[in-house]
Amino acid sequence: MKTNSPAGTKTLTTKVLIIGGGVTGTGVMRDLALRNISSILIDQHDLNSGASGSNHGLLHSGGRYAAKDRDTAIECRVEGEILKRVASNCIDPCGGMFVAVDGDDLDFASQFPDHCQAAGISCTPLSPSQAMEREPSLTKKIVAAYEVADATIDPFRLTLESVNHAMELTDSFYMPHTRVEAFEIGDGEIRAALCRDGRSGEQIRIEAEEVVNAAGAWAMRVARLAGCNNVNLLYSKGTLIISNSRMSSGVINRLRPPGDGDILVPGGTVSLLGTTSATIENPDRITPTVDEVDRILAEGTDMVPSLADARFIRAFAGVRPLLMASGHGGDGREASRGFALFDHKEQNLRNFATVTGGKLTTFRLMAERVGDLIAKRLGSSAPCKTAVVPLPSGPAICWTEPGFSARDWYARQDPTDRILCECEMVSESSIDSIINEAPGSEADMSVKAISLRSRVGKGSCQGAFCSIRVTSYLYDKGIYSSEAGLAHLRDFVKERFKGVRPVLWGAHVAQMELAEALHCDLMGLDLK
Amino acid sequence: MIRETRKIKSQLAIIGTGLAGLAAGIFATEQGIKTTQVGHTGSVTYTTGYLDLFGSLSGQQYSDPWQGVDELKKEYPNHPLCQIDREEINVAMSLFVEKLTEMGVGYLKPGSKNLDALLPSGVCKPTISMPLTMAAGIRAKKTNASTLIIDFIGLQGFSGVEFVANLKPSWPELSNKRLQFPGMESGQQLFPEVMARSLEVPENRRKLAELIKPLINGFEYLGLPAILGIHLPDEVHREMEGLLGIKVFEIPTMPPSVAGIRLREIFEQRFPAQLITLIPQHKVEKLELTDGGARLFFKDPFGDVEIESQAVILATGRFLSGGLAAGQQSIRESLLNIPVSQPKGRDDWYSEKYFAPEGHGINRAGVEVDDNFRPLDEDGRPLSNRLFAIGTVLANQDWVRQRCGAAISISTAYQAVKRVAGLILDSTIDSPGKSGKISSPAR
């Protein structure tokens, strides 16, 4: 890779440019690196800022799709089995069950085992008392229950490990806050991508032999920048809420056609309840609403009554990029969960590919298909290795795991390693590790970037104290040296608030009052 | 063991020991009213120490607080500060500050213009009075005086680098240095309260001064986090200035703040015990209104306690202090279920934007009162002639955003105590009343 700067614009050269730092884009980056092909990965924000970072972290057994979409169900089962082998450090094989409660469609429930069998998905019937024994928080009104091999996966750790591995294997690298604005096209190929650094405003020209569009919900826009109008997506907004404690030991799915509050997924020390589905026009700047939260909760309470008294620390919303088949209606729940790879031959482009749709569970397969296409185009015969080579952990990657920083801190036995975030026990040394070693850390570090790579701001105080302490610490470390640091703090708490707003009731309102007193009365963030 | 309910008789019961409760206690003592006061003193330690009058409205900051209040009257005519004469607010603020100063925590006499109060972020906010220990910072900034900010290894959320970086554009003569706090060199986390208590020992002050001395050549001012003692801060401050030979000022820190602990402790320790029975760290569990006043119930480690009182002042604060409680769909008042004026539904509680200049609807929710600060029932009638509500539990204000918390607490306390005095002192034969500084309103 070389760098030169004709006429003030920085030009970078690479084999493959990958657009989109979600699970698919980072998966492609690693897939190619394992074939000894280097790449530059860019994202308009940072890792997992789209659907990859705003889902329930479920590794599907396939049961959810068994009735309606057998192909996807089989893909989920196969991929789930592979990932449990190669990405075990990102996965909690907690198991799961499907339960129908009094009033649910019994026909639908009774057909479930047959559908599972047809897709090769293991499904064991449980009596209501067996189900209750496994998940004591379940309602007593269970009418049917089946055990399946659901698991959970930490998508943040997954992308961090993928990027880290790719960077270890090759001279690939990752650039956050880099958005494609246009492509230079000539003679049937993309010659360069014209990008802009969202922080500095600087223009960057990236020359690559191949360009992969893995921009998820933004893939349609990126394809259009290259003159390709054949990628048509339906944007489906999904909202979830996070409780401040773990409500179940495994995944609990509602056994009925998909609805709003039909899945409760554990995520380390917390649980995630979801998910709504609403078709929207624009994938940018979506926020969870009070109405969505109330609907999810009302539905979820039918399955797990104690949710009614649980404390929720945050809600979040993501956009599913769903593939619009021609002549298809506009319902997000009916649309396919499958993925598609476009080689753009018909649009007369030799070196461009778009991959979108799909699911977190199938990201590896999506990356494999892209890798096969790109390798072939580049004349490489190296096979895909992601199904066999385990994903190694790397430095500064473990910090997204709930509870890890606390264990690390106790193990260190170092009283001078001061805690910056008391809810999640994130200490100064873990922040140092992220600043120095985490993937993406070579770029501009901020409270937000640290939060993405750790548990900072994710505990029950939702950043009231730790955001201020971490900001001061970043000033002390020389990461911040101007008013920009305070602006980053302001942006961070503003962003956090969007997720907190719809779950503000009960004790959380008192917490918010305190946060506002700290951010405004003590820090004056509203005055500047 | 048989437990008996212990009974306390009192002329006035004040529920709450935050700033409003503290002010009410002071004013009631001034009036010679026999008072019992119960409450948790948590939230007072969240204060910066600054006493605000009125500083900001819908994103506009005011250097003249009264100009702000004039604008406020147009936008929020039911704001508590719009219900009280300017002169009465001034008298209440001045009297409160005078009493705090008498008790050992010196405050600047409130003037007619807002002061530029320094925050640890390096942002400034408009306020009307501040502890004497913080006062020198105003002039240092105004004159761009060469000033050294000292921070300490282990004191989190207080960074000299951050303070300087954010003030440098308007205060170029500012710099910073980091020190180890004497006697606390282990590198562990430090707490402002522990540092402040340490500086009450003269020897520790000398040690700190020795560390600072070599750094202050050429500087006119020295800024420190607020750690200059708990009980006699003015003395500690004066002595530090003497030892160092330059002007010293404090800057607020994250909670629990020393400025707040000072208020709590003078309140707990310096109040005249013959007139006020203080029951800190307890929460009233039940309040019953009676014809002659009210009965309050709570438990302490020795059993049940009942207070019979001729009048009650609710100074219970908002959600953090427990005066208000938010359910999933509506907000209620915690002790008597007094109607709370509030936005229509949860979707209107908070604006979509955290820093929306107009603030959040939920912050203006609260208890509605009449001209005499008596809480109103559904029909807009006072619940009782002997029940008053003061401070931030009141509706139609946003103390954080509007920088008016102290003025609301202190001036509504003053008004309510005046009404209580009118009720009690003139109708009680054996009143212990003396001619206080507060004039009773004509009945």
Q: Which residue, among A26, A249, A30, has the nearest Cα to A135 in the 3D structure?
A: A249
* Distance in angstroms (rounded) separating the CA atoms of residues B74 and B417: 28
Residues in A closer than 8 angstroms to B328, CB to CB, are 294, 505-506
* Helix (H) and strand (E) counts in chain B: 11, 19
Stretch A504-517: mean pLDDT = 94
Determine whether the interchain pair B161/A476 forms a contact, defined as Cβ–Cβ distance below 8 Å.
yes
What's residue B41's pLDDT? 67
Q: Which residues contact A505 (CB under 8 A, 6 or more apart)?
A: B326, B327, B328, B329, B346
pLDDT over 80 (residue A420):
yes
Residues B132 and B99 in one domain: no
* Same domain for B150 and B78: no
Other beta carbons less than 10 A from residue A394's beta carbon: 17
Of B46, B124, B322, the CB nearest to A517: B46
Judged by average pLDDT, the poorest of A445-449, B188-192, B222-226 is: A445-449
Q: Establish if B156 touches chain A: CB-CB under 8 angstroms.
A: yes
**Chain centre distance of CA A170:** 24
CB atoms within 10 A of CB B433: 17
Please indicate, yes or no, if residue B342 is contained in any of the structural domains: no
Query: Is B157 close to A486, i.e. CB distance below 8 A?
Result: no
> Residue B300: helix, strand or coil by DSSP?
strand
Sign of CA dihedral A509, A510, A513, A514: negative
**Which residues 54-113 in chain A show a CB within 8 A of chain B?**
none
Pair of tokens at residue A457: 């701001």
What's the confidence (pLDDT) of residue B427? 56
B137 and B56, same domain (yes or no): no
Looking at residue A334, what is its pLDDT? Answer: 54
Q: What pLDDT sits at residue B278?
A: 87
Contact A469, A457 (CB under 8 A): no
CA quadruple B77, B81, B82, B84: dihedral, nearest 10 = 150
Q: Side-chain half-sphere of A59: how many Cα atoms within 13 Å?
A: 29
CB pairs under 8 A between A and B: 148
Work out the pLDDT band at A425, boundaries 50, 70, 90: confident
Average pLDDT (B410-422) is 97
Distance CA A84, CA A512 (A): 39
Instruction: Answer whether A38's CB lies under 8 Å from A173's CB.
Output: no
pLDDT, mean over chain A: 91
**Residue B34 shares a structural domain with residue B174:** no
Optimal mutation site among A312, A516, A525, interface B, most CBs of chain B within 10 A = A516
Residue B433 corresponds to which tokens in the numbers above? 């009343």
Q: End-to-end distance of chain A based on CA atoms, in angstroms?
A: 42
Q: Is the pLDDT of residue A6 over 90?
A: no
Residues of B in contact with A503 (CB under 8 A): none
Token pair 């092909």 is at which residue? A37
> B399 and B268: one domain?
yes
Same domain, B47 and B98: yes
Q: Which amino acid is at A520?
A: C
Which of A472, A501, A528 shows the shortest C-beta gap to B156? Answer: A472
At a CB cut-off of 8 Å and minimum separation 6, what does A432 contact?
A477
- Does pLDDT of A9 surpass 50? yes
Q: How far apart are the C-alpha atoms of A395 and A387, rounded to whole Å? A: 23
Q: At what angle do helices A363-377 and A70-86 cross, to 10 degrees?
A: 90
* Contacts with A, B 113-132, CB within 8 Å: 119-125
- How far apart (Å, rounded) are the C-alpha atoms in residues A236 and A322? 7
Phi and psi torsions of B71, nearest 5°: -65, -40
Residues B135 and B46 in one domain: no
C-alpha angle A11/A12/A14, rounded to 5°? Answer: 145
Does domain A3-51+156-232+336-377 fall under CATH 3.30.9.30? My reply is no
Query: Does B344 contact A at CB distance below 8 Å?
Result: no
The answer to whether residues B86 and B20 belong to one domain is yes
Task: Identify any residues that bridge with B38 across adjacent strands, giving them in sequence order.
Answer: B15, B279
What is the SS3 assignment for B315? coil
Are B158 and B224 members of one domain?
A: yes
Maximum pairwise Cα distance, chain B: 71
pLDDT tens string B308-318: 999 999 999 99
Contact B254 A469 (CB under 8 A): yes
Q: Shortest CB distance from A526 goes to which of B178, B346, B401?
A: B401
Range in A174-188, A455-469, B218-232 with the lowest mean pLDDT? A455-469
Type of residue at A215: A
Give the mean model confidence (pLDDT) for residues A354-365: 94
Q: Which of A262, A267, A269 is nearest to A296 (CA)?
A: A262
pLDDT tens per residue, range B46-77? 899 999 999 999 999 999 999 999 999 999 99
Q: CATH homologous superfamily for A92-152+234-323?
A: D-Amino Acid Oxidase, subunit A, domain 2 (3.30.9.10)
Structure tokens at A39: 């790449």
For every residue of B1-19, DSSP letters joined together read: -PPPPEEEEEEEEEE--SH
- pLDDT at position A333, please? 53
Report the pLDDT value the prediction gives residue A443, as an integer from 0 to 100: 66
Per-residue confidence (pLDDT) for residue A336, from 0 to 100: 66
Enter the DSSP assignment of A120: T
Residue B21, SS3? helix
From A418, which residue of chain B is nearest by alpha-carbon distance?
B189
CATH of the domain at B176: 3.40.50.1860
Structure tokens at B303: 């059993």
At A12 the three-state DSSP class reads: strand
- Rounded to an integer, the average pLDDT of A182-192 is 96
Closest listed residue to residue B129, CA positions, set B156, B143, B112, B108: B108
Q: How far is A528 from chain B (nearest CA, A)?
A: 7
Q: How many CA atoms lie within 13 A of A72 on its CB side?
A: 21
B441 belongs to a structural domain:
no
What is the C-alpha separation between A460 and A422, in angstroms, rounded?
10
Asked if A260 and A275 count as a contact pair (C-beta separation under 8 A), the reply is yes
Residue given tokens 């494609």 in the structure block:
A180
Whether chain B has a CB inside 8 Å of the CB on A311: the answer is: no
β-sheet bridge partners, residue B286: B297
Q: Tell me: pLDDT of A55 over 70.
A: yes
Residues B156, B157, B160, B163, Cα dihedral to 10°: 180
Query: Of A502-506, B45-49, B151-155, which gets the smallest average pLDDT?
Result: B45-49
Q: Residue A327 pLDDT more than 50?
A: no
Whole-Å CA distances, A302 to A253, A262, A267, A306: 12, 9, 21, 10
- Mean pLDDT value of segment A164-176: 95
Q: Are residues B225 and B272 in the same domain?
A: no
Q: Are B254 and B158 in contact (CB under 8 A)?
A: yes
- At which of B198, B228, B251 does a domain end? B251
d(CA A310, CA B150): 44
Of A373, A336, A372, the closest CA to residue A353 belongs to: A373
Predicted pLDDT of residue B46: 87
Query: Amino acid letter at A259?
Result: G
B325 belongs to a structural domain: no
Which of the residue ranges A130-139, A256-265, B298-307 has the most confident prediction, judged by mean pLDDT?
A130-139
Predicted confidence (pLDDT) per residue in B243-275, tens digit: 999 999 999 999 999 999 999 888 888 877 778
Q: Kindly give, in sequence order, each residue whose CB lies less than 8 Å from that of residue B70, ignoring residues fewer than 6 positions away.
A: none
Q: Which residues of A touch B326 (CB under 8 A)?
A: 504-506, 509
Would you say residue B428 lies in a domain? no
Per-residue pLDDT at A151 exceeds 60: yes
Tell the burial category of B104 from Cβ atoms under 10 Å away from its Cβ (0-12, 13-18, 19+): middle
Chain B CB contacts of A505 below 8 Å: 326-329, 346
Question: Which residues on B lie below 8 Å from A473 (Cβ)?
Answer: 156, 159
Q: Domain segments of chain A: what residues?
A: 3-51+156-232+336-377, 92-152+234-323, 398-522
Contact A336, A72 (CB under 8 A): yes
B321: which residues sit within 8 A by CB, 6+ positions away? Answer: B16, B18, B40, B42, B43
Q: Is the pLDDT of residue B199 over 90?
A: yes
CATH of the domain at B55: 3.50.50.60
Residues of A in contact with B156 (CB under 8 A): 418, 420, 469, 472-473
What's the burial of A225, exposed, middle or buried (CB within 10 Å: 0-12/13-18/19+)?
middle
Residue A311's SS3 state is coil
**pLDDT number for residue B160:** 98
Mean pLDDT of B408-429: 88
For A469, the closest chain B residue by CA position comes to B157
Flag if A510 and B319 touch (Cβ within 8 Å): yes
CA distance A389 to A378: 22
> Cβ(A51)–Cβ(A20) under 8 Å?
no
CB contact (8 A) between residue A525 and residue B355: yes
Q: How far apart are CA B377 and CA B58, in angstroms?
A: 30
Q: How far is CA A277 from CA A59, A273, A334, B302, in A?
A: 19, 13, 10, 56
| Whole-number pLDDT of residue A442 | 62
B217, B298: one domain: no
How many Cα neighbours within 13 Å face the side chain of B418?
A: 22
3-class SS of residue A94: coil
Query: Choosing among B19, B45, B150, B162, which should be mutated to test the A contact, i.e. which has the most A CBs within 10 A?
Result: B162
Domain that holds residue B54: 12-103+262-314+349-411
Is the separation of the CB atoms in B40 and B316 below 8 Å?
no
Residue A494 contacts B, CB cutoff 8 Å: yes
Binned at pLDDT 50, 70 and 90, residue A59 comes out as very high
A444-478 pLDDT, tens per residue? Answer: 688 888 888 888 888 877 788 999 999 999 999 99
User: How many structural domains compose chain B?
Assistant: 2
> CB-hemisphere CA count at 13 Å for B102?
12
Count the Cβ atoms, other than its own, within 10 Å of residue B5. 10
